[in-house]
Structure 1
Amino acid sequence: MNLQQLEYFKKIAETENFTTAATLISVSQPALSKAISKLEDELKVPLFQRNKRNVTLTSYGKSFLIHTDLALLQIEKGIEELKFMVNSEEGNISIASTHCIGTYFMPFIISGFLSISPDTKFQFNHQPTSKIIKDLKEGKISLGFYEKNDNLLTNTEIESIPVKKEKYVLIVAKNHFLAKETEVSLKDLKNESFIVYCDENKDKMLSYSEFIDYTPKVSIQPSEASMLGGLVAAGVGITIVPNTPLINTNTLSIVNIKEDIGYKTIYMGWLKNSSLSLNTTKFKDYVLSLI
């Protein structure tokens, strides 16, 4: 049994026709028939029921197709992983992060690493967490940076390590009556209008039900997190965000929140049992050293 026979078998199963399958994979029909006959002889079961025009899978064929699909998928993943390993040996590190994390966290991390490894090249994308996890599983990226969500808690294929915690704070315009306060309680914001960016963790910033007895008023929900600061500065409303260096304190005031509403935690993740390149491993260890 060889890879070619498995690919032939899969294509015939898909087309249910030897002639069509032979055309699609650019092989003669006699050669295709001979390869499948050898496979059936080796397995000692018929894989196809031959009819006048088409063929259909036998019960043996249906069962074997499930394992054939898995085997070909694993081989494809292995090929992709080797391609990325080759690229990484040339200095490339393939990573992705959510848009917010990529805006204010990743530039500092990458800049710091380049100061000690200046020849490194990064392949870097902004993606939703779900796409990052998918690409990690498929070997399209080596490392991902995201905020952990419920889907990750049940995902056993991905190793997720917290690398950064950021306290949530309230930001208001400079002319807002709370601008000169150092601390405020969520209970005192009942009459305020909130600006909320909803990503995959929808409504998370307004879900503090144990601290408040009201439903916050939402004045606007921008499509980009980067719009929050500008809208707050313009007096459209107030918002709760992670305390990051990107908050423009020239136009905004940062106010601590009295209640302990937790932190935004940034996670770094990779596919368990995957073979990371030397450069990727070096970068991963660098990020972990900053914890």
Structure 2
Amino acid sequence: MTLKSLEYFKKLAELQHFTKAANELHISQPSLSYAISELEKDLGVPLFDRKDKKITLNYYGEAFLSYVNQSLSILDEGLNFVKHISNPKSKNISMGYIQSLSSSIIPPFIEEFYKNPLNKNIKFSFTQKDNNELIKIFLDRKLDIIFCVDAVKGAISQAIGEQELCFVVSKEHYLCKKENIKLKDLENENFLLINPGTNLRKTIDKNFKRLKFNPKVTLELGQCSNILIYVEKNLGISIVPKVDIMSHPLSEKLQIINVKNLDLKRTIYVNWFPSKNENLTLKYIKNFIEDFFLK
């Protein structure tokens, strides 16, 4: 069984006429007859009913044709894709992500992607923004794919992991030496939090409301990196993604504290828009993302 024999079978099944099929395939009729005969021998069953020089696709032929069509279609897609990515002018992919993913998720993903030499001609352009602004740019169709902490309405969204949120203080803060800290122990602490309306703040507020805890917020800022500067100055306590603490230039002067019976996390999503006429490169990258994060 060869690729050519499958192509010949597909054409003959379509026309159900040896002479017409041979002409369209640019081969002789005896060559076509021989190829079909060999294919039927390989399968052990006839694919056509022959009567008075007429042929019709039989039960076996109809069943086999559906698989042949699928196989040839997948193969054709694969051939087109290899030609596409081997072209130095392959389309660039625009990808956005929130700052807290810049050291934890994006680098290992890109590193793994370029381990395959076939991917060398695929280029990325990256945009790093806060969650709300990133989604706005994405909804304006200015980004192909985004990694953020929301499942965007109207997009295909998949959860790819969770991000740990931690209480953090300066190493000069008295809580560094305290054990078995409870949430009620923080009632009189100054909280330095991310701005209201952000996903992180919504997550924090939602959990505090559930626990009936009202923090004394004394400072609100738009970036976790800036909040940590004030925390290091021992001006208060904060809650930020653990990865932001570990990657911050002042990390050695900061201390994560564990609050008893409180485990804060938020979900990380990858988002893209559905498309009927999808770019081959973009489709390939989406499949790669699913394999990398979800399998």
- Residue 228 of structure 1 deviates from its aligned partner by 1.9
TM-score scaled by length of structure 2:
0.57
Is residue 285 from structure 1 mapped to residue 287 from structure 2 by the alignment?
A: yes
Deviates more, 1:107-116 or 1:235-244: 107-116
Mapping of residues 155-174 of structure 1, within 5 Å = 155=153, 157-174=154-171
Which amino acid counterpart does residue 141 of structure 1 have in structure 2? L
1:176-225 C-alpha deviation (Å, 9 max, x unpaired): 12224566322211111111112533742244123244x21122112322
Q: Is the 8 A contact 1:163 1:287 kept in 2?
A: no
In 1, are the aligned partners of 2:90 and 2:121 still within 8 Å (CA)? no
* Change in CA separation of 1:143 and 1:274 when aligned onto 2, cut-off 3 Å: farther
- Judging changes above 3 Å, is the alpha-carbon distance between structure 1 residues 195 and 115 closer, same or farther for their aligned structure 2 residues? farther
Q: Is the 8 A contact 2:171 2:232 kept in 1?
A: yes
Give the structure with higher Rg (CA): 2
Q: Which residue of 2 aligns with 1:246?
A: 247
Higher fraction of helix: 2
Q: Structure 1 residue 125 and structure 2 residue 124: aligned?
A: no
The one-letter code of the counterpart of 1:162 is A
Q: Aligned partners of 2:88 and 2:100: how far apart in 1?
A: 26
**SS in structure 1 at match of 2:210:** coil
When residues 202 and 286 of structure 1 are mapped into structure 2, their CA distance, relative to the original with a 3 A threshold, is: closer
Tell me how far apart the structure 2 counterparts of residues 269 and 183 of structure 1 sit (CA, whole Å).
Answer: 39
Task: Show the counterpart of 1:237.
Answer: 236
Measure how far apart 1:144 and its partner are: 1.2
For residues 157 and 139 of structure 2, the distance between their equivalents in structure 1, rounded to whole angstroms, comes to: 13
The number of residues matched between the two structures is: 201
CA distance in 2, matches of 1:274, 1:88: 25
| 1:143–1:270 Cα contact (<8 Å) kept | yes
Counterpart contact for 2:96–2:147, Cα < 8 Å: yes
Consecutive unaligned residues in structure 1, runs of 5 or more: 1-84
- State the AA in 2 paired with 1:93: I
In 1, Cα distance between equivalents of 2:236 and 2:142: 40
RMSD: 3.2
C-alpha change, 1:229 and 1:105, in structure 2 (3 Å) is: farther
Is 1:206–1:216's contact at 8 Å kept on the other side of the alignment?
Answer: no
Q: Distance in 1 between matches of 2:133 and 2:278?
A: 20
| CA deviation map 1:50-69 (0-9, x unaligned) | xxxxxxxxxxxxxxxxxxxx
